[in-house]
Structure 1
């Protein structure tokens, strides 16, 4: 059962990051997909979403017809503390140029009741970005 929990936790973490960071230049889709991510994490994810919104991140995606994707490189998960580190590569494709960034986020995972919007029955807590830096392409 413990190995199943680790697999489910990693799947939850990866899916959350896909919902949060895979973004096409479509406002309705961005609202839908980021909204799905909000069911999977606590208010720390909402704070990060609000900061991105205030900094014009989402409107910049739409106005520049950018496509953002994230590729999971690895997830370190400590089954005893339930803390994780997510290592990913974010690619932002714009008409003028592509940008590649390394991303490292951290947080914890807690059990919650399973729902249609949260089928893993897990909640990401204390989520924050530790690194989001440009890479040479």
Structure 2
């Protein structure tokens, strides 16, 4: 009789403890689901377009930062290495590119200008353009490597050059002239060599 009572008491205690644990787990689960639901709702934004509500979703800046880094590096190289035989166009592109880089960009521009690079472009009516192959950014050190091909179209020849540059990225305040909020530092050209040199046929 006594043993039966003790067994029942133990079973009752076990049932109470399990019930309490289940209640705690249910409460924690409910709180987590409630928090997740509220967080998801806060990430949704409704924008009116001509009176029609459009659902948008916020994203964390960090999620897209790698994309912005690569876009910034790509934008700078496009501005700096797109060189038509138009002095005003060159000046405007260089001016825009200087907002994206520190004085290492200005030093490279001055070196090219002093060597008569831009005068040669004007006199030969050459057109320089660049195509990006890839941009690699280290997420920890923010060091990057740029790989691209430069196309030099002259009257007598068509030249393709393999271009590789390297540098670092530094966070700054976003502005109209620097929408990504990044500055390139310690920029230098690692490789710039001809890979194709075709002579054009003269008629």
**TM-score range relative to shorter protein:** over 0.9
Structure 1 residues 34-113: aligned runs within 5 Å: 34-113=94-173
Instruction: Please give the root-mean-square deviation of Cα atoms over the aligned residues, in Å.
Output: 0.8
Residue deviations 1:87-136, cap 9 Å, x none?
00001100010111000000011111111111111000000000000112
Structure 1 unaligned blocks of 5 or more: none
Determine the structure 2 residue equivalent to 1:127.
187
- Supply the distance in 2 between the matched residues of 1:105 and 1:32 (Cα, whole angstroms): 22
TM-score, normalised by the number of residues in structure 2: 0.66
SS in 1 for 2:160: strand
Structure 2 unaligned blocks of 5 or more: 1-60, 198-203
SS in 2 for 1:48: helix
Determine the structure 2 residue equivalent to 1:14.
74
Equivalent pairs counted in the alignment come to: 137
SS in 2 for 1:25: coil
Residue deviations 1:31-50, cap 9 Å, x none?
00011000000000100000
TM-score, normalised by the number of residues in structure 1: 0.97
- Structure 1: which 4+ aligned runs deviate by more than 4 Å? none
- Supply the distance in 2 between the matched residues of 1:13 and 1:85 (Cα, whole angstroms): 9
- Supply the distance in 2 between the matched residues of 1:72 and 1:29 (Cα, whole angstroms): 21
SS in 2 for 1:95: coil
Q: How many angstroms does 1:20 deviate by?
A: 0.1
- Supply the distance in 1 between the matched residues of 2:80 and 2:116 (Cα, whole angstroms): 15
Q: How many angstroms does 1:55 deviate by?
A: 0.9
Structure (1 or 2) with the larger CA radius of gyration:
2
**More relative contact order, 1 or 2 (CA 8 Å, 6+ apart):** 1
